[in-house]
Amino acid sequence: MSVLRGKNILLGITAGIAAYKTASLVRLFVKAGAEVKVIMTPAAKEFITPLTLSTLSKNPVYSSFIDEDDENAMWNNHVELGLWADLMVIAPATANTLSKMAQGNSDNLLVATYLSAKCPVYFAPAMDLDMYKHPSTKESFDKLREYGNIMIPAEHGELASGLIGEGRMAEPEGIVSFIENKIIEGQPLYDKTVLITAGPTYEAIDPVRFIGNHSSGKMGFAVAKAAIDLGATVLMVCGPTHESYQHDLLKMIAVTSAEDMYNAVHEHYGSVDIAIMAAAVSDFRPKQVAQNKIKKSDTALTLELEPTKDILESCGRLKKDQILVGFALETDNAIENAIQKLKKKNLDLIVLNSLQDEGAGFGTDTNKITLIDKDENISAMPLKSKLEVGTDIMNEILKHCDV
């Protein structure tokens, strides 16, 4: 999943031959989960049709302040478009448009929108090599960067003129990953590693049977997504689950039993910045695992169980600079029990789930939590989607912990 998911992207296209590549660029943004609106300079329509771009973006394409072909035309509001955008990308950006942007010369909708935009603005220059090197172009680049815009440098290669040099617009894939990396680098957990346990554990009775629980792993995955949105690299140690999630910043380590989870966690715990234990780890396991399937019989079967290792508690004991977060699932005296767990396991934060609350607990897409930090500050949250709860947990970690 890309950090561009859910973002509103305004793509400004100017009149350069590289405009033909913007069909792929729109497609890649949409594939990444972004909402895309396109503004073209009038001359850019000579290079790629608005129909192609509106079809790919599933939105109207804007190119003038009013649409002259439509007698009921409305004013295309550059201020509204500018405010709608989470980021604006001008690609290809010609020398002419860059100079207008640098001078604040808003004689077309694209530049007027750029001047109204409050979001980060990226520009991907595309022009012939001598234009690219010209001092006036360099001056535009410098001025635009000084204003806080982000340049996606042109590449070296064969140009439309047949000459070879610097000036080719970066390839659409390169533009997308450049923007994704910039967004991630600007996030508060960039360069941090978060270890998350999730899902149930299965404790073998014999080769076919196990002791398990109803945990779906959804809460752990929601926390992982929220951590990734904040730029973190996530190591997820996950028991058997139907949930799945793929992201460049996510490494999945699949385990089965509490012992496997314990070993996987301790392989990495020493080198992580934050550890969040959302797994529903079995507290007991059969003392003996039968080598062969236990046969049916008329007499009662007694299984002797032994405690598993408490992974969270062991992390609390070994804690150095890590921020350690645990969950507590309680049915009665919830707050007191959760505070006891927080202290006993040496945690920085505990997330209390109460099975008593409707819509909270195993298998649902919602949860109702109370957050308690090590100073015993208590914040009770309303019922929310697990994704929102994941974000609340990560925001609380950011607020309370000095990372």
Q: How far is the CB of 312 from ligand CTP (least distance, A)?
A: 3
Q: Which listed range, 9-17, 323-331, 378-386, 395-403, lies at the site for ligand CTP (CB under 6 A)?
A: 323-331
Judge contact between 16 and 169, C-beta under 8 A: yes
Tokens standing for residue 175: 């533009």
Residue 76 a catalytic site member: no
Closest CB to ligand CTP among residues 56, 261: 261
Closest CB to ligand CTP among residues 279, 371: 279
Set 8, 96, 105, 213: catalytic member: 213
Q: Which listed range, 14-22, 71-79, 321-329, 359-367, lies at the site for ligand CTP (CB under 6 A)?
A: 321-329
Closest CB to ligand CTP among residues 46, 376: 376
What is residue 152's three-state secondary structure? coil
Q: State which of residues 28, 111, 144, 279 lies at the interface with ligand CTP (CB under 6 A).
A: 279
Tokens standing for residue 17: 């031959």
Residues 48 and 54: their CA atoms lie apart, in Å, by: 11
Q: Which listed range, 5-13, 67-75, 209-217, 327-335, lies at the site for ligand CTP (CB under 6 A)?
A: 327-335
Q: Which long-range contacts (CB under 8 A, 24 or more apart) does 185-189 make?
A: 185/231, 186/231, 187/3, 187/229, 187/230, 187/231, 187/232, 188/230, 188/231, 188/398, 188/403, 189/227, 189/230, 189/231, 189/232, 189/274, 189/394, 189/398, 189/403
Residues 353 and 369: their CA atoms lie apart, in Å, by: 5
Site for ligand CTP in 196-225 (CB under 6 A): 197
Sign of CA dihedral 283, 287, 288, 293: negative
Tokens standing for residue 210: 């196990």
283 binds ligand CTP (CB under 6 A): yes
Among residues 317, 322, 379, 321, which one has the least CA distance to residue 350? 379
Residues 283 and 355: their CA atoms lie apart, in Å, by: 18
Sign of CA dihedral 68, 70, 72, 77: negative
Closest CB to ligand CTP among residues 226, 311: 311
258 binds ligand CTP (CB under 6 A): yes
47 binds ligand CTP (CB under 6 A): no
Please work out the total of residues on this chain that contact ligand CTP, with binding judged by CB under 6 A: 15
Q: Which residues pair with 151 in a beta bridge?
A: 123
Closest CB to ligand CTP among residues 121, 279: 279
Tokens standing for residue 285: 């396991």
Q: How far is the CB of 305 from ligand CTP (least distance, A)?
A: 13
Cis peptide before 172 (omega within 30 of 0): no
281 binds ligand CTP (CB under 6 A): yes
Q: Cα 55 to chain center, whole Å?
A: 27
Closest CB to ligand CTP among residues 168, 341: 341
Q: State which of residues 39, 223, 274, 311 lies at the interface with ligand CTP (CB under 6 A).
A: 311
Q: How far is the CB of 372 from ligand CTP (least distance, A)?
A: 13
329 binds ligand CTP (CB under 6 A): yes
236 binds ligand CTP (CB under 6 A): no
Q: State which of residues 277, 349, 360, 387 lies at the interface with ligand CTP (CB under 6 A).
A: 277
179 binds ligand CTP (CB under 6 A): no
Catalytically active residues are 213
Question: Under the rule (CB under 6 A), what is the footprint of ligand CTP?
Answer: 197, 258, 277, 279, 281, 283, 308, 310-312, 326-329, 341
